[in-house]
């Protein structure tokens, strides 16, 4: 795949990639932008190479997930060194703006809150399957876990999410 065609494919996947980056960053959009830019930098300087063993989307999502984890670890190290204590839980969804609290935005807010209460692995699996339309097999590949484990997280996550949404009066 030439550099130009790779760039075009990445551009097509950009919205989905940003959504996954937001998920990997616990709802922090600014951090998600940095993660996505670092991911593109890795592609440009060859630290991340697509070898065709999986789909481009699966590969890209794997790179985004690893990049987010690296930045998270680096952030923890910086915080330890500077004794800086962050306010709030890093995995909590970002607080919505007041003007966005209507209709679809309200549903999205409720879903973010419900997802934030789930274990991280279940949240990631549900995001990849329902938000990104990946199969459970592709989800297992992105998260580098076994198919059986991904299926378990998928079923348990669905049940837990439904329970939380129904508790909040959502479908």
Q: In the complex, which residues of this chain contact other proteins (CB under 8 A)?
A: 7, 10-11, 14-16, 18-19, 22, 29, 33, 36-38, 40-41, 43-45, 100, 104-105, 107-108, 110-112, 126-127, 129-131, 135-137, 151, 154, 158, 161-162, 165, 170-171
DSSP 92-135: SPPPPPGGG-STHHHHHHHHHHHHHTS-HHHHHHHIIIIIS---
Q: Least distance in Å: CB of 127 to other proteins?
A: 8
Least separation in angstroms between residue 100's CB and other proteins is 7
**Chain centre to alpha carbon of residue 23:** 3
Q: How far is the CB of 139 from other proteins (least distance, A)?
A: 9
Long-range contacts of 89-93 (CB under 8 A, 24+ apart): 89/26, 90/26, 90/28, 91/26, 91/27, 91/116, 91/120, 92/26, 92/27, 92/116, 93/26, 93/27
- Nearest residue (CB) to other proteins, 38 versus 59: 38
Q: Which is nearer to other proteins, 10 or 117 (CB)?
A: 10
Distance (Å, whole) CA 43 – CA 46: 5
* Residue with smaller CB distance to other proteins, 11 or 79: 11
CB of 83 to other proteins, least distance (A): 29
Q: CB 63 → other proteins: shortest distance, Å? A: 13
Which residue's CB is nearer to other proteins, number 77 or number 105? 105
* Beta carbon nearer to other proteins, 29 or 73: 29
- Alpha helices (runs of H) in the chain, residue ranges in sequence order: 3-24, 29-45, 56-82, 104-116, 120-126, 136-143, 147-167
């Amino acid at each position: 795949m030439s550099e130009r065609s790779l760039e075009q494919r990445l551009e097509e996947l950009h919205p989905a990639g940003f959504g996954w980056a937001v998920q990997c960053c616990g709802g922090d959009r600014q951090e998600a932008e940095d993660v996505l830019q670092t991911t593109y930098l890795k592609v440009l300087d060859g630290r991340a190479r697509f070898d065709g063993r999986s789909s481009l989307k699966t590969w890209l999502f794997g790179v985004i997930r690893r990049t987010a984890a690296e930045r998270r670890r680096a952030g923890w190290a910086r915080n330890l060194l500077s004794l800086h204590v962050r306010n709030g839980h890093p995995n909590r969804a970002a607080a919505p703006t007041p003007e966005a609290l209507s209709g679809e935005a309200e549903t999205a807010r409720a879903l973010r809150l419900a997802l934030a209460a789930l274990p991280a692995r279940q949240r990631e699996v549900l995001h990849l399957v329902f938000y990104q339309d990946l199969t459970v097999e592709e989800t297992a590949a992105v998260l580098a876990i076994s198919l059986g484990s991904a299926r378990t997280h998928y079923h348990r996550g669905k049940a837990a999410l439904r329970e939380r949404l129904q508790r909040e009066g959502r479908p």
